[in-house]
Amino acid sequence: MCTYETVNVEATGSGKGASGWFKLARATVYFDHPVHAQAEHTLNIDLANPQLGPSARVALELDPSSARALAGAILEILDSAPAAPLAGGS
């Protein structure tokens, strides 16, 4: 089921697209029909820098179980990282 809910967050980091590496500015997350993935609905994540145009984008379409596993892995790694690097933001 499509929720039509979209969450946008500022993102600092880098992404690698067809034209090479670019600075990220935004992450957009939503649950909808995928464009390419073989699933009825997917969690979609777009990592982008809109100021650099449409080629500065990395897109993910994850089935719900993969999305939950990825979210858990991210939290696990962040929770196990030393506090000093996390406090500096990089």
Tell me how far apart the terminal alpha carbons of the chain are, to the nearest angstrom.
37
Strand-strand pairing, 6-17 and 57-62: unpaired
Dump pLDDT digits (tens) for 18-66.
889 999 999 999 998 888 988 888 999 999 999 999 999 999 999 999 9
Q: What is the Cα–Cα distance from 42 to 60, expressed in whole angstroms? A: 9
Query: What's the pLDDT score for residue 1?
Result: 65
Local confidence band at 90 (pLDDT 50, 70, 90 cut-offs): low
**The pTM is what?**
0.84
